[in-house]
Amino acid sequence: MRALRKLSQRIKQKGLRRTFKTFWERYVFYHWELLWMERDLVSPVPPYTLKAHAPVSLVDITTANAEAFTHHFGDRVETMRQLAAEGHTGHMYLDAAGNAVAFIWASTRDYHDRHYYGCTFPVKPGEFFEFGGEMIPAFFGSSLSVEAQVKLWDAMRAQGCDKVVDVVETHNVPALKLHVRMGYHEQGRVAHVYCLFGRWKFFRESHYEGSRLAPLYKARSVVAAAAPA
């Protein structure tokens, strides 16, 4: 009875179609398309109008300080510690109380994502793979989303990298807009992730010509042209 009440409540909140879609993707089948994006590390970030944020301090993530994630990202503490132990470069941003409110990672070698997608993302010499960027809701829409990336680019350039690459889900419109705002370009590659019955995953790569994000680039150009000088 409790399960039925919970299902009924969810249908009322999200509607039958969205509830069925969520159920299908979680327990039967889903297909994610991940667009490969890239950017050099020296071109300036285009102008933006994001809001200011509360003071934070940048700290390199290590196995010894991963406990800083406990308050806001309690389920990620061990993951953060594992990534640091594997030698990836991680930045976290701490608030006045010493709690991590945002983080972002970089890998200079092929990155096997066993924590989420389950596949391996190849990295070429001179590149680094950017992944795991996240922040708490209080910082959504703030300039920290730009500053965190630029600081990571600076750190990786000091390690000899000249290009950042990453993937973004095609259904994640806010993330796609962020990439456009940051000056990323499409590589024309798509990493496909398939999952059957919430257990078996399959992967493949496809290619395309032209742009999958042309409407976003166009909208960005219109906004930039309309901005006051």
Beta pairing class for 185-196 and 120-121: unpaired
State which residues of the chain have pLDDT below 50: 1, 3-4, 7, 11, 20
pLDDT, residue 218, reads 79
pTM over 0.75: yes
Q: Which residues contact 48 (CB under 8 A, 6 or more apart)?
A: 143, 146, 181
pLDDT at 225: 52
Of the candidates 95, 89, 98, 102, the residue with the CA atom closest to the CA atom of residue 61: 89
Of the candidates 28, 34, 63, which has an alpha carbon nearest to the alpha carbon of residue 169?
34
Rounded to whole angstroms, the Cα distance separating 175 from 86 reads 26
Domains of the chain (ranges; CATH) run 29-226 (3.40.630.30)
What is the reported pLDDT for 11? 47
3-state SS, the chain, equals CHHHHHHHHHHHHHCHHHHHHHHHHHHCEEEEEEEEEEEECCCCCCCCCCECCCCCEEEECCCCCHHHHCCCCHHHHHHHHHHHHCCCEEEEEECCCCCEEEEEEEECCCEECCCCCCCEECCCCCEEEEEEEEECHHHCCECHHHHHHHHHHHHHHCCCCCEEEEEEECCCHHHHHHHHHCCCEEEEEEEEEEEECCCEEEEEEEECCCCCCHHHHHHHHHHHHHCCC
Residue 222: per-residue pLDDT = 56
Give the per-residue pLDDT at 7.
42
pLDDT per position as a tens digit, 94-146: 999 999 999 999 999 999 999 889 999 999 999 999 999 999 999 999 999 99
For the segment 79-94, what is each residue's pLDDT rounded down to a tens digit?
999 999 999 999 999 9
